[in-house]
Amino acid sequence: MKVVVQRSKGASVVISGETVGSIDKGLVLLVGITHEDKEADMKWMAEKIAGLRIFEDESGKMNLSVQDMGGAILSVSQFTLYGDCRNGRRPNFMAAARPEQAEPLYEAFNAALRSTGLTVETGRFGADMDVSLTNWGPVTLIVDSKT
């Protein structure tokens, strides 16, 4: 499992002109799932991200998690995180889990995030989405459950 974590001052997902998910301050997560991923990976990743101390405290140090600062999560599925660009000019997406495997795991990931007490908004799995955000900092991390 790979997740791109972006600290955000605000974000939204729009599908066909309709806003389906939006947050104020918090984290935008671009979520990729591969064949080897299991529900345990989803739980590990949710706990890792919920506790990441990437927001500044009163001293200006990154000491607060999204939970500590009362933020929310916007979670967006993104199979293209497993695009292999090493050969040719067209990415190979064979490492991405098929939708019938990935969607239940993505839902389990979001449920695990919610179980930490966080508000979690989402896009729509498999949809063509317009994702907008104001990256705060900017702070962007890539968290991989296999490394």
- The pLDDT of residue 146 is 84
Active site residue 6: no
CA distances from 77 to 24, 58, 88, 97, 123 (A): 19, 33, 25, 11, 7
CA angle 133-10-61, nearest 5°? 100
Verify whether residue 80 is a known catalytic residue. yes
| DSSP track, the chain | -EEEEEEEEEEEEEETTEEEEEESSEEEEEEE-BTT--HHHHHHHHHHHHH---EE-TTSSEEE-TTTTT-EEEEEE-GGGG-B-SSSSS-B-TTBPPHHHHHHHHHHHHHHHHTTT-EEEE--TTS--EEEEEEEEEEEEEEETT-
Q: Which of 34, 79, 109, 122 is catalytic?
A: 79
Task: Please confirm, yes or no, whether 78 is among the known catalytic residues.
Answer: yes
The whole-number mean pLDDT for each consecutive block of 10 residues of the chain, a chain of 147 residues, reads 98 98 98 96 97 97 97 97 96 97 98 98 96 97 90
Query: Residues 6, 34, 55, 78: which is the catalytic one?
Result: 78
